[in-house]
Structure 1
Amino acid sequence: MLEAEKISTGYGNGDVIKNLSFIAIKREIYVLLGANGAGKTTTFRAITGILPLSKGRVVVDGIDIWVEPEKAKRKIGYLPEGERVYPDLTVYKNLRFFARIYDVEEERINELLKEFGLEKYKNTKAGYLSRGFRKRLALARALLHNPDILVLDEPFANLDIPTVLSLRDKIFEMLKEGKTILFSTHILSELQNFEGVKCRVGIMKEGRLVLEERLENLLNRISNIEVLFKVDKKQQAKELLEKFGYHVKVESIGVILEVSNYSEEVPAVMKILLTQGINVYEVKPKETPIEKVFTEMTKGD
């Protein structure tokens, strides 16, 4: 478990993070969601013991990170934003460098090389790897000492789809192993891929948490989502759906209507259209539920 207790911190010109508190527990994902500049990276630098606090404390499995830093930090694996690896060192030497710091055996390095598909790049300088493989290397490095808590700063940003899927699967795997996972993101739609697992979301604005809620509860808070149905008979679809009480707008590529329960109403609307001979080529929300939450919670006071 990692607990931030009323922490404040900054970079010399006043606190960027102000009186921030949250708890991340075992077998759960805790997400910091916010726009760029909201304070997510600063928060993660503070809770991993990199950035000193002006107020509050961070407790890792009962250990204050500033009272017993070495003991607390051994429980944390930190993946900074971007692909923070040494470009002039080979993949193997990147891992070996940090393995010596944590007194990790050679066997663990080889295990991670295999696990992350890096074996054939073992003697390749990290600077020559693709962004996706540099991210894999950085994550392998964060996991070298088999930490109980993993802190990932914007892990999905600027990655190709195969790497995103691989990273997501790895997060699910680590949850099953009993680890605590924290990650930050500004990619709102990414959160909807974590429905079905224990996941709490803290929405950040200007260094503060403006909302903290379970992901499923966040999605349930939202009603009246606009959904675009790409159809071949727009006017017929409009007239048909209006008979069922929907307010329908016609656009160049289809019709738009509001639903209060996406998962239940969209299949029902699809059935109505298809049974009347109207072809549906694509269905997508004009604004995803999590985007609507984010917009409402971070708009100006």
Structure 2
Amino acid sequence: MSIEVKNISKSYGAQKALDNVSFSVKNGEIVGFLGPNGAGKSTLMKILTTFITADQGKAEVNGNDVITSQKAVQKTVGYLPEHNPLYLDLYVREYLAFNADVYKVHKSRIEEVIQLTGLSTESHKKIGQLSKGYRQRVGLATALLHNPDVLILDEPTTGLDPNQLVEIRDLIKNIGKNKTVFLSTHIMQEVEAICNRVIIINNGKIVTDKKLNTLVQEQQEQTIEVEFDKIVNADTLNDIPNLKTVKNNHGFVWELIFETEQDMRPVVFDFAQEKGLKILQLNLKNKNLEQIFREQTNIK
């Protein structure tokens, strides 16, 4: 396993940030670690990167204990914290050279990470002159300098514009082809685009840990938006089997919510034919990750 977490708990005074958390991450997985603010995400990431210690439990990265083998963990982990710490007065290459000395890696690695993270055109500039997107690239380049097996990224796309989001997303996906990536984010579209597994934490406890496609497919509720060619009474629509709720959005457009895994579109077509109705449009609107997240974390 790349990451192994067993019964980890951590408190700050009376506040319990992590409550008996356990999970494991296999080599090569890209895992999205989700949760509301204050759920315990950053605390766990700091434990995995040896910045802080847990009160109880055990954690290993690449088989190295985060307490008894801290140096070994630090050698195998690349970490980008939420607030990317950079020396703004240093040039990009100068900053990477400084960190290469810290990691004791060959200077040739600097050119490799500059190419990998797309920093070539900006590498002659001071970090303070760079956009937020390129500063994130510098942070990623630094995290990759020592060629770690595991990347831990805490909110890597915070504050980026839409174009920068796509660039950093593609960069992380590319890096994830050869490394284990464990990332925290509030942007659900990023998780859907990058990750193959989702772990959701709420109030310090894991509430969901599943493959992304499994999580979406498991949802029992199915929403169909349908437009008929004339007025339909809500009571008439209630004759459709497995119908949980019905709502008139506007005019002849209805939102039908079914509680079943069965594809109800053919059933709606049969209903319309039986009632002498024509369907002008019909759309299946499955739950996305954001809706699932809100339900799992009880956000109204």
User: Does the TM-score normalized on the shorter chain lie above 0.5?
Assistant: yes
Change in Cα spacing, 1:260 to 1:98, as seen in structure 2 (3 Å) is: farther
Q: Which ranges of structure 2 fall in alignment gaps of 5 or more residues? A: 273-277
Q: Which ranges of structure 1 fall in alignment gaps of 5 or more residues? A: none
Q: Larger C-alpha radius of gyration, 1 or 2? A: 2
Contact 2:59 2:65 in 1 (8 A): yes
Cα distance in 1 for residues equivalent to 2:212 and 2:3? 19
Moved more, 69-78 or 242-251: 242-251
Change in Cα spacing, 1:28 to 1:261, as seen in structure 2 (3 Å) is: farther
- Partner of 1:256 in structure 2? 255
Aligned residue for 2:229, secondary structure, equals helix
Q: CA deviation at 1:120?
A: 2.5
What are the within-5 Å matches in structure 2 for residues 129-168 of structure 1?
A: 129-168=130-169
Cα distance in 2 for residues equivalent to 1:265 and 1:157? 39
User: What is the number of equivalent residue pairs in this alignment?
Assistant: 286
- Partner of 1:291 in structure 2? 290
TM-score (norm 1): 0.80
Q: CA deviation at 1:47?
A: 0.9
Contact 1:150 1:180 in 2 (8 A): yes
- Partner of 1:202 in structure 2? 199
Contact 1:32 1:204 in 2 (8 A): yes
Cα distance in 1 for residues equivalent to 2:228 and 2:124? 62
Show CA shifts across 1:121-165 (max 9, x none). Answer: 223221221111111111111111110000011223332223322
Contact 1:225 1:289 in 2 (8 A): no
Change in Cα spacing, 1:250 to 1:49, as seen in structure 2 (3 Å) is: same
Cα distance in 2 for residues equivalent to 1:250 and 1:62? 56
What are the within-5 Å matches in structure 2 for residues 77-88 of structure 1?
A: 77-88=78-89
Cα distance in 1 for residues equivalent to 2:95 and 2:268? 54
Contact 1:9 1:51 in 2 (8 A): no
Cα distance in 2 for residues equivalent to 1:267 and 1:185? 38
Cα distance in 1 for residues equivalent to 2:102 and 2:292? 42
Aligned residue for 2:46, secondary structure, equals helix
Contact 1:203 1:212 in 2 (8 A): yes
Q: CA deviation at 1:92?
A: 1.6
Matched, 1:173 2:174: yes
Contact 2:50 2:66 in 1 (8 A): yes
Show CA shifts across 1:244-282 (max 9, x none). Answer: 9587644359653436799x7789999xx9xx79479xx
Contact 1:81 1:154 in 2 (8 A): yes
Aligned residue for 1:97, secondary structure, equals helix
- Partner of 2:220 in structure 1? 223
Contact 1:39 1:207 in 2 (8 A): yes
Aligned residue for 1:167, secondary structure, equals helix
What are the within-5 Å matches in structure 2 for residues 109-120 of structure 1?
A: 109-120=110-121
Contact 2:228 2:281 in 1 (8 A): no
Q: CA deviation at 1:207?
A: 1.2
Contact 1:238 1:248 in 2 (8 A): no
Letter in 2 for 1:101: V
- Partner of 2:229 in structure 1? 236
Cα distance in 2 for residues equivalent to 1:155 and 1:238? 49
Cα distance in 2 for residues equivalent to 1:237 and 1:86? 65
Q: CA deviation at 1:63?
A: 1.4
Letter in 1 for 2:21: L
Moved more, 101-110 or 35-44: 101-110
What is the Cα-based RMSD across aligned positions, in Å? 3.5
Question: What percent of counterpart residues are identical?
Answer: 33
Change in Cα spacing, 1:174 to 1:120, as seen in structure 2 (3 Å) is: closer
Aligned residue for 2:38, secondary structure, equals coil
Cα distance in 2 for residues equivalent to 1:261 and 1:168? 34
Cα distance in 2 for residues equivalent to 1:5 and 1:212? 14
- Partner of 2:275 in structure 1? none
Change in Cα spacing, 1:277 to 1:203, as seen in structure 2 (3 Å) is: closer
Change in Cα spacing, 1:100 to 1:266, as seen in structure 2 (3 Å) is: farther
